[in-house]
């Protein structure tokens, strides 16, 4: 008899870390299993949150330590589920199913994958943002403008050829989820939104916004409700001179 528990595949399934034959097996099982459907939602949401976390340099040797713990984790026999289908699948040539795979061991392995994926996702996102900022800052027509405010420092670099502005700053107030910073282009015709942005938890801004504004304007920043406003609803906190 095979001691494999199909429910234990849900974490790896959420991370797209299963072998093709395991995906096929789990796909057939999932529609009829409320337990796995509920756990899949939780694992998927956790993976997304971790992938969106701030980048952190992992301690030296963490990968080796985790892998060593995996190899030493006791594998208790799991509760057998859906035996007939699993044994039939295991008997097919070229599709072996492990005889003993504990849920705890799989969860630990999934944690390794999630953490590794979070580092990779953040690295890719950071690299893309750096490239976007560089394309604006290094443009031949780039103009650097200081936005003066009472808290922190905020610099805007505008490139008409790129149709974008790069905002770089530090020391700004980190806003709650129901608020956002909004950049405005201001002239005699009024104020027009050039986009919204947020800081990280440390008050640092590194963002690129698309805009069709010209250089003959004043730039200003206000705090608006989440989602932005059609016109400023709060005092201008930062303004170009």
CATH of residue 201: 2.60.40
Is 137 contained in some domain? Answer: no
H or E stretch covering 206 = strand 205-210
Verify that 40 and 126 share a domain, yes or no.
yes
Verify that 115 and 209 share a domain, yes or no.
no
Verify that 95 and 203 share a domain, yes or no.
no
Verify that 221 and 169 share a domain, yes or no.
yes
Is 155 contained in some domain? Answer: yes
Q: What tens digit of pLDDT does each residue of 140-166 get?
A: 999 999 999 988 899 999 998 888 999
Verify that 223 and 116 share a domain, yes or no.
no
Verify that 87 and 180 share a domain, yes or no.
no
Residue 115 tokens read as 């953490």
The parent domain of residue 212 ranges over: 143-240
Residues of the chain with pLDDT under 50: 1-2, 80, 82, 85-86, 95-106, 108-109, 112-115, 118-125
> What pLDDT is attached to residue 43?
78
Distances (CA, A) of 194 to 21, 98, 167, 199, 221: 49, 56, 12, 16, 10
Verify that 14 and 109 share a domain, yes or no.
yes
H or E stretch covering 197 = strand 190-197
Q: How far apart are CA 102 and CA 106, in angstroms?
A: 6
- Length of the chain in terms of residues written: 241
Verify that 224 and 155 share a domain, yes or no.
yes
Final residue before a domain boundary, out of 132, 155, 184: 132
Final residue before a domain boundary, out of 132, 155, 188: 132
Verify that 125 and 72 share a domain, yes or no.
yes
> What pLDDT is attached to residue 106?
47
Verify that 169 and 209 share a domain, yes or no.
yes
Final residue before a domain boundary, out of 107, 132, 157: 132
> What pLDDT is attached to residue 199?
92
Verify that 122 and 155 share a domain, yes or no.
no
Is 138 contained in some domain? Answer: no
In total, how many domains does the chain have? 2
Q: What tens digit of pLDDT does each residue of 66-100 get?
A: 666 655 555 555 554 545 544 555 555 554 444 44
Verify that 101 and 20 share a domain, yes or no.
yes
> With contact defined as beta carbons under 8 Å apart, do 83 and 1 qualify?
yes
């Amino acid at each position: 008899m095979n001691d494999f528990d199909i429910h234990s595949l849900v974490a790896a399934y959420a991370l797209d870390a299963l072998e093709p034959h395991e995906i096929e097996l789990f796909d057939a099982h999932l529609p009829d299993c409320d337990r796995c459907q509920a756990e899949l939602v939780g694992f998927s949401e956790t993976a997304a949150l971790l992938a969106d976390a701030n980048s952190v340099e992992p301690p030296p040797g963490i990968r080796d330590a985790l892998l060593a713990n995996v190899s030493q984790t006791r594998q208790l026999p799991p509760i057998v589920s859906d035996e007939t289908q699993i044994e039939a699948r295991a008997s097919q040539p070229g599709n072996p199913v492990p005889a003993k795979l504990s849920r705890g061991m799989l969860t630990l392995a999934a944690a390794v994958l999630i953490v590794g994926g979070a580092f990779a996702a953040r690295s890719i996102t950071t690299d893309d943002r750096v490239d976007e900022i560089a394309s604006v800052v290094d443009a031949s027509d780039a103009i650097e403008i200081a936005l003066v405010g009472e808290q922190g420092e905020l610099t805007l670099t505008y490139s008409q050829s790129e149709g974008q502005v790069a905002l770089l700053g530090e020391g700004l107030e980190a806003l709650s989820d129901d608020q956002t910073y909004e950049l405005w282009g201001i002239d005699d015709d009024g104020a027009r939104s050039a986009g919204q942005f947020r800081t990280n938890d440390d008050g640092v801004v590194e963002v690129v916004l698309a805009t069709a504004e010209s250089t003959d304007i004043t730039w200003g920043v206000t705090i608006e409700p989440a989602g932005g406003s059609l016109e400023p609803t709060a005092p201008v906190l930062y303004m170009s001179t």
